[in-house]
Amino acid sequence: MVADKLNVIRDRMRAASERVGRNVDDVTLVAVTKGQPDTAIMAAYEAGQRVFGENRAAELAAKALRLPGDIEWHFIGSLQTRQAKLALPHAALLHSMDRPRLANTWAAGEAPCPVLIQVNVAGEQQKHGVAPEDTAALVELVQARGLDCVGLMTIPPLVTSDEDNRIWFVELRKLRDRLAPDHHGLNELSMGMTDDFELAIEEGATMIRVGRAIFGPPGVPARID
């Protein structure tokens, strides 16, 4: 079942890419494994998936030690500064860099991985992320700390129609395009999840974060056959 769902996601990614003249190989699928058992992750691994995302530092650390070493783990959730040391040794990419204190802590770790700046494009008070107008300053601070800042990430608002999120994907892409000429290497756009990843691909996403469409709801064991 997990393998079948992965194939459906890949077909949808390809179709969305083709609609706008993009190459699907330019979009990375991050399979989000929050609350999922090793058996479900291994079912995806055996179906060819290699990039996985975790929301919790302790869960990432535990799974990374148990599961195959060629898995590329991304940390995609909000990260408390005191938990950074758990995630840092195992993460290949941090999607949720959102404040100077976290940048300082991440930079102080041994061989810190590249980061994406999390942008609160819709200005929602309950969500983490830097305001669009403050993004350049955070990028500059992160780079000044010696970190490799490779792009931007966002989590758009909950909406009644998925199409309503297109505006936020466009805004993130435009922000990246404005900043990129003055900030070397700012290429990635992590945006789009289960309900709206096709829209995100159409608007330039280079990474999509999909969990429920592959594994089912978090904490509910996925069917693997």
pLDDT tens for each residue of 185-222 = 999 999 999 999 999 999 999 999 999 999 988 766 56
pLDDT over 80 (residue 25): yes
pLDDT over 80 (residue 65): yes
Per CATH, is 2-215 categorized as 3.20.20.10?
yes
Burial of 14 (0-12, 13-18, 19+ CB in 10 A): middle
Confidence of residue 225 (pLDDT cuts 50, 70, 90): low
Identify the pLDDT of residue 127: 83
Residue 87 identity (one-letter amino acid): A
Mean pLDDT value across residues 4-23: 98
Question: What is the C-alpha to C-alpha distance for residues 40 and 221, in angstroms, rounded to an integer?
Answer: 7
Burial of 160 (0-12, 13-18, 19+ CB in 10 A): exposed
Q: Does the predicted model carry a pTM greater than 0.85?
A: yes
Mean pLDDT value across residues 141-150: 98
Instruction: Identify the CA nearest to 33 among candidates 70, 13, 59, 58.
Output: 59
* Beta strands, E only, the chain: 28-32, 51-54, 72-75, 91-97, 115-118, 149-153, 188-190, 207-210
